[in-house]
A and B are shown apart, each in its own frame.
Chain A
Amino acid sequence: MAEPTLSLRSIDKSFGPVDVLRKVDFDAYAGQVTALVGDNGAGKSTLVKCIGGSYSIDSGDYTFEGKQVHVHSPRQAADLGIEIVYQDLALCDNLDIVQNMFLGRETHGRVVLDEIAMEKAAAGALKSLSVRTVKSVRQRVSSLSGGQRQTVAIAKSVLWQSKVVLLDEPTAALGVAQTAQVLELVRRLADQGIAVVLISHNMNDVLQVADRIAVLYLGQMAAIVDRKDVDQQQLVELITTGRTGDIGLPATNATAGAV
């Protein structure tokens, strides 16, 4: 397999006496959707925040495009090309789609904002994802549905030519039809050559769209498996006990962790 865009080795992270992540390995490949699953408290959010620079890692190697990097702030992660689409979306309701997609990175001349360039680029990004649900890029975000908001947040990462996009529970608040649309969008994002990391609680979503699945169990990486190698029941077992059959953590280890 090709070299991963993002690669973590032996990541440790603790908050005081609590070890949240223990020797975690994780890879994200360009053009693939890597799902990151795990029960509540397994360390998914912490791992995402370490990747995104909100937390700095205690020890371990963080490699991006083959080079070892040290990411200590969200700004640094963004500069590398790592975009995080947060669960609560981080959009401004009172601004329109273009304004939101360019927020903090507005195109401008000497003083005046270049609205035309921004509008064209935003429309282009949405078009490249074949988004048809949004009527006008000058719509205020307050008038958008949950699915459309996710669309805008995801399209932002295309606009900024991100290399790695982390999606934190993108379908959590959505209905069936909108979930299907967003998952399709996730697929198209990967098809554009972006390394997509999908954090989700929803087994159906994961099995439907992921190429590889990484399972966190109590701060340890229980398994990283190909989608085609597992079924739903095995996945649930991995999430709840850290092992299934001969995949996963060694039996002793898993039990020790459960105590």
Chain B
Amino acid sequence: MTTSSVTPESHPTSSDESAHVPADLASVASTAPIEGGLGAYFRTYRQRVRSGDMGSLPAVSGLIVLVIVFWILHPQFGSLANFSDLLKQSSPTIFIAMGLVFVLLLGEIDLAAGTAAGVCATLMARLSVGYGWSWPFAIGAALVCGLVIGLGTGWLCAKVRIPSFVVTLALFLAFQGVTLFFVLNGAGAHGNISITDSFITNLYNGQMEPWLGWVLAVVAVVGYALVKVRQMTSRRSAGLIAEPVPLVAVKVAALAVLLAVAVYLLNLNRGGSGGSQLVNQGGQLVLVKPPALQGVPWVVLEIGFFFVVWSFVLSRTRYGRHVYAVGGNTEAARRAGIRTDRVRISVFVISSFMAAIGGVLLASNTHSVDANTGGGNTLLLAVGAAVIGGTSLFGGRGRPADAIIGGLVVAVIANGMADLVQGNNRDSIQYIVTGAVLLLAAAVDALSRRRAGAAGLG
């Protein structure tokens, strides 16, 4: 560390005394509970942000600003139907991004995640439509395909030691060919494979019964509260500094309010004005009231499930700790006896597995797959989502939550721009804006790193 020699070391005794002064704790980049009340927490957080460790702050504030701007410019943006659409539209990106977080944590990149999603999706469609496989087998095959792709990619990177950029760039191209092959050999009249299995199409398009939304929200809040309280009490009984009760209460209450509002809004009927329509039923015209369109989209549960699983894996298990260690300092991890090659392979497996799920959702969305499924900007949006969410491109920093926040930002931009800019320039503007946001996020990442370095935080 180059700055160490100029950093004045505080005198041992003085720092020992000051350890009990909350204000002084502001300089501690702590990852765990600290002494003092809420004020100390707030100060510590502010200090962390100022020293470059911004976490998801830019993404969350960006998300809020974007929503407000689009809402003002185009009131329809804030409609109930659009709220639900946003959640759905972000889901494939979030899944792929969540897998990419693992790869990015190691400072690697998986450029093939998008087209791998395409391969898995077309495989599923082909098996479901062409061979009449039922959905558990078709989806299972897609997921296994994802695992195998990840294993191969990881092996090439970790054992053959080809840079991941090159391996996945090559696979990015190759997978497009595989997708094309599947589609050409099984496509219908429109150059795509239409999926008829309603389970598969409902994965993206379906919503749960309103009561189920409430049950899940309660389960989530109670589960979170239990984990927090248990953590707090066990730390306290072990004589360690624990989070203050008010902070835990605020966190639990915030989650409860957020989920309650979201579930309430999603449970309202968003199916338009509800006017009856004439429908041809068995040869005669009948006046039919359209079914109510309400309920939390299934994608929310799907995302929530994997968010909880991967967050648990990364923060509470040895494996997760080792992923961070390899990402932070591979040599140190190797000397500590961690099998760095295995960790490296495993992150590519996770990435491709999550990409496979993203691919299934992409197919579910359009009820079909075609030669472009998973191609185009699918991958870049997912990388953008992870980076916008706060995952570092330099490795060592990132969380599954980043994928969700970033995925929402990306979806809000795409959705808002699509409404806002009509006509021929629609796509071009959207590409440019999304690209600019990604660049901005990467710049924030690089600058916060530099600032952390300048502040002696390595």
Which segment of A62-70, A101-109, A224-232 sits at the interface?
A101-109
In the complex, how many angstroms separate the beta carbon of B308 from the nearest chain A beta carbon? 14
- Using Cβ atoms and an 8 Å threshold, which residues of chain A touch B170? none
A181 within 8 A of B: yes
- B residues 30-52 with Cβ under 8 Å of A? 30-34
Known A-B contacts A78-B337, A104-B338; A132 and B12 likewise in contact (beta carbons under 8 Å): yes
- A residues 51-91 with Cβ under 8 Å of B? 74-75, 78, 86, 88-91
B19 touches A135 (CB 8 A): yes
Give the complex CA separation of A88 and B331 in angstroms.
Answer: 10
B316 touches A113 (CB 8 A): yes
A175 touches B335 (CB 8 A): no
Give the complex CA separation of A94 and B395 in angstroms.
Answer: 9
- B residues 317-355 with Cβ under 8 Å of A? 317-318, 321-322, 324-325, 327-329, 331-333, 335-338
A90 touches B331 (CB 8 A): yes
B234 within 8 A of A: yes
In the complex, how many angstroms separate the beta carbon of B344 from the nearest chain A beta carbon? 15
Give the complex CA separation of A140 and B324 in angstroms.
Answer: 13
B229 within 8 A of A: no
Give the complex CA separation of A136 and B238 in angstroms.
Answer: 16
A92 touches B325 (CB 8 A): yes
In the complex formed, the residue of B with least CB distance to A130 is B12
A-B contact count (CB 8 A): 148
- Using Cβ atoms and an 8 Å threshold, which residues of chain B touch A173? 1, 4-5
- Using Cβ atoms and an 8 Å threshold, which residues of chain B touch A104? 322, 325, 333, 336-338
A149 within 8 A of B: yes
Q: Which of A104, A139, A177: most chain B CB closer than 10 A? A: A104
A220 within 8 A of B: no
- A residues 8-66 with Cβ under 8 Å of B? none
In the complex, how many angstroms separate the beta carbon of B247 from the nearest chain A beta carbon? 16
A94 touches B397 (CB 8 A): yes
Known A-B contacts A132-B12, A178-B4; A143 and B331 likewise in contact (beta carbons under 8 Å): no
Known A-B contacts A112-B316, A174-B4; A133 and B12 likewise in contact (beta carbons under 8 Å): yes
- Using Cβ atoms and an 8 Å threshold, which residues of chain B touch A178? 4-5, 9
Give the complex CA separation of A93 and B456 in angstroms.
Answer: 12
Known A-B contacts A103-B336, A135-B25; A116 and B5 likewise in contact (beta carbons under 8 Å): no
Cross-chain contact of B15 among A91, A105, A106, A132 (Cβ < 8 A): A132
- Using Cβ atoms and an 8 Å threshold, which residues of chain B touch A75? 337
B303 within 8 A of A: no
Cross-chain contact of B16 among A99, A115, A132, A138 (Cβ < 8 A): A132
B458 touches A138 (CB 8 A): no
In the complex, how many angstroms separate the beta carbon of A162 from the nearest chain B beta carbon? 14
Give me the interface of A with B, judged by CB distance under 8 Å. Answer: 74-75, 78, 86, 88-96, 99, 103-106, 108, 111-113, 115-116, 119-120, 132-133, 135-136, 138-143, 145-147, 149, 173-175, 177-178, 181
Give me the interface of B with A, judged by CB distance under 8 Å. Answer: 1, 4-10, 12-13, 15-16, 19, 24-25, 27-34, 234-235, 238-240, 316-318, 321-322, 324-325, 327-329, 331-333, 335-338, 396-397, 452, 456-458
A-B contact pairs, 28 of them (CB 8 A): A88-B331, A90-B332, A90-B335, A92-B328, A93-B396, A94-B328, A95-B324, A99-B324, A104-B336, A106-B318, A108-B318, A111-B316, A115-B32, A116-B234, A119-B32, A120-B239, A133-B12, A135-B28, A136-B25, A136-B30, A136-B34, A145-B7, A149-B1, A149-B4, A173-B5, A174-B4, A175-B9, A178-B9
